[in-house]
Structure 1
């Protein structure tokens, strides 16, 4: 066999995305280039790595086995590079973080200066919903996870990064200036939900359950951005964390509607498994976060309190 490291990287990206087109996009390569690399890799095996049904790429059991071994090979190659930098006195390695979708408005501010101080560190940050974030954490695929709702069935340590508030939001055409309104307002408006598994949805539904409020669900969307754009377009209302709608509220594209019982106060927490032995890179990032989080809060998130309605 005469496969290359590049072919391993291409194959792993195909396994991850289940698409040659998506793999090419994420690798910043053309689709023909990825197809050629994959064909050259497949030609070295007598057993198929993938199956194509319609336009969908499916990975065979043999393909998954090869992918696992390929990942180990690439991990070892990365370890060589990190070890070389360590001998030069440079902190190096990979920091892996899973972030719930709204957390993308927070985590970069805690990472930017840290990564500038330690250019030998490679970052992998997966932005997805709460269920997948916790799955990655439980499977020990990441060092840290950023969530607003603590998992009930996982034993974790936590570091609170930021406080946040959830409000009822409508677009600029909906003027509600006589509040605070009673919770019965939720019986009269059409609400837009996040998908099942979202932390925002869990907080929202818990509030309705505790308040014994019946609501009219209009839409269910799979990202904070999608919900935000739907509210701006006038498709309905939603209860959303302030951290994700800063610009839209400042520009008056979204209006905070005062309601009794709101805001719902939450905390953004960086969590990690109690049983996990953190790598030197992860330990250093945790120490950095604890030391600098107050400065980061004051510098980048002072507007949260300024916009909050108490």
Structure 2
């Protein structure tokens, strides 16, 4: 393997990511024959097939998967070295890989914007997905940091609370319960609900609360988008539970309101996590410190406003 070049390994990693020589060539701005030639040379160096083709789709062989894991470690170490060199030179330079749950997109991009203004030579790869996919990405060590509302219990991680994330019950302003106060939670029985998809952290929290109170609701819609849920509520298709962070701009425009129901809001928090034992890069450590400081200020400001 000492004969393999870093370029060949980069090409291999890109092909493995896309499952396609053509798409890898497009991403790397080289020709498809060049990709094929590089993979042929790397396969000869390894002495075993790295891919198998079924129809038009490429799949990694067992040895290909082992090589991909090694490539990820190699390039992660090189990225870390570049960041250390830049840090010694007095600059923050490199790439931040961040994965966040869907609802976090309402505040994380703004924080990233301020962070990148402070460190303009930092590039960011941001993945927005649900809790289920976040867990998968953690198991595959795909990112530096993760922002979610509930750290996983079955994966060793280091986690720190960032700020409050209350889940509120949202309805159309014309809903029969909209003007009532201190509504018993049992009143929600058989109420038409709009829920997030399976694997969503918000949905899990709602199901746990309803199970605790032995409440059965009618699930009229399942949607994987908070925006779609808000539009559905505005259309009087049902009520739903959303993070309070999703309501700041659109609640009045869409004529939405929060219901005063016992058991709500569901008190949750935002957490930033990384794999236990993972050596954070200079950039990841800088962002971790920045987001902790920023969200602390946000929480203090929110507390003062509420008073």
TM-score normalised by L of structure 1? 0.75
Where structure 2 has 5 or more consecutive residues not aligned to the other structure, the ranges are: none
| 1:15-34 matched pairs, under 5 angstroms | 15-18=16-19, 27=27
Distance 1:198 1:253 in 2: 25
* Preserved CA contact (<8 Å) 2:145 2:273: yes
* Preserved CA contact (<8 Å) 2:144 2:280: yes
| 1:8-157 matched pairs, under 5 angstroms | 12-18=13-19, 27=27, 38-42=35-39, 44=41, 45=43, 47=49, 49-53=51-55, 58-72=59-73, 74-75=75-76, 78-79=79-80, 81-82=82-83, 84-157=85-158
Distance 2:261 2:89 in 1: 58
| 1:1-310 matched pairs, under 5 angstroms | 5=7, 12-18=13-19, 27=27, 38-42=35-39, 44=41, 45=43, 47=49, 49-53=51-55, 58-72=59-73, 74-75=75-76, 78-79=79-80, 81-82=82-83, 84-171=85-172, 174=175, 176-180=177-181, 181-297=183-299, 302=302
* Preserved CA contact (<8 Å) 2:178 2:258: no
Give the stretch that moved more between structures: 76-85 or 176-185: 76-85
Distance of aligned partners of 1:41 and 1:195 in 2 relative to their CA distance in 1, 3 Å threshold: farther
* Preserved CA contact (<8 Å) 1:110 1:289: yes
Give the stretch that moved more between structures: 232-241 or 191-200: 232-241
* Preserved CA contact (<8 Å) 2:24 2:35: no
Write the deviation string for residues 239-278 of structure 1: whole angstroms up to 9, x where unpaired.
1112123322131343323322222121112123454443
* Preserved CA contact (<8 Å) 1:164 1:267: yes
Shift of 1:14: 4.9
Tell me the secondary structure at the aligned position of residue 249 of structure 1: coil
Distance of aligned partners of 1:225 and 1:191 in 2 relative to their CA distance in 1, 3 Å threshold: same
Write the deviation string for residues 163-189 of structure 1: whole angstroms up to 9, x where unpaired.
122222234664543313332342232
Give the stretch that moved more between structures: 86-95 or 9-18: 9-18
Distance 1:274 1:68 in 2: 18
Tell me the secondary structure at the aligned position of residue 248 of structure 1: coil
Distance of aligned partners of 1:21 and 1:176 in 2 relative to their CA distance in 1, 3 Å threshold: farther
* Preserved CA contact (<8 Å) 1:249 1:256: no
Shift of 1:101: 1.3
Shift of 1:128: 1.6
Distance 1:97 1:138 in 2: 15
Distance of aligned partners of 1:75 and 1:263 in 2 relative to their CA distance in 1, 3 Å threshold: closer
Where structure 1 has 5 or more consecutive residues not aligned to the other structure, the ranges are: none
Tell me the secondary structure at the aligned position of residue 103 of structure 2: helix
Tell me the secondary structure at the aligned position of residue 259 of structure 1: coil
Paired residues in the alignment total 299
TM-score normalised by L of structure 2? 0.76
Distance of aligned partners of 1:193 and 1:100 in 2 relative to their CA distance in 1, 3 Å threshold: same
Distance of aligned partners of 1:34 and 1:304 in 2 relative to their CA distance in 1, 3 Å threshold: farther
